[in-house]
Amino acid sequence: MTRRIGKYPDEVRERTVRLVLDHREEYDSEWAAITSIAQKSGMTPETLRLWVRQVETDSGRRPGVTSAERERIRQLERDNRELRRANEILKAAAAFFGAELDRRLKR
């Protein structure tokens, strides 16, 4: 899985998420676990919460778009933009050459 370059290395991300998943029963709530582990790891609780939610989604424990699906959607949108640009170029070329043919036929 490719990830955008961020502030935290993948190892830190994986370790802190694993800590939350392994130790959340030891806290009053999941948020308490996330807050505590985030403070100890030097990040905001919201960052860690989002990472935990994405891992839960990727593993099928939570509904939503997985990281693989999200990457596939991005690739398809990129391909779609490229095809639209190519289509516009072809339309412009067809109009240009069509007008050129009309001028030749009128002579």
pLDDT at residue 104 in the model: 72
Contact 19, 37 (CB under 8 A): yes
pLDDT at residue 26 in the model: 95
Reported as a single tens digit per residue, the pLDDT across 29-45 is 999 999 999 999 999 99
Q: What is the mean pLDDT of residues 66-71?
A: 94
Which distant-in-sequence residues (6+ apart) come within 8 Å of 49 by Cβ? 31, 34
Q: What is the mean pLDDT of residues 35-63?
A: 95
The pLDDT of residue 1 is above 80: no
Please tell me whether the overall predicted TM-score, pTM, comes out greater than 0.85 for this model: no
Q: How many angstroms separate the CA atoms of 38 and 52, rounded?
A: 11
Q: Which two tokens stand for residue 104?
A: 């030749």
Distance of CA 103 to the CA centre of its chain: 50
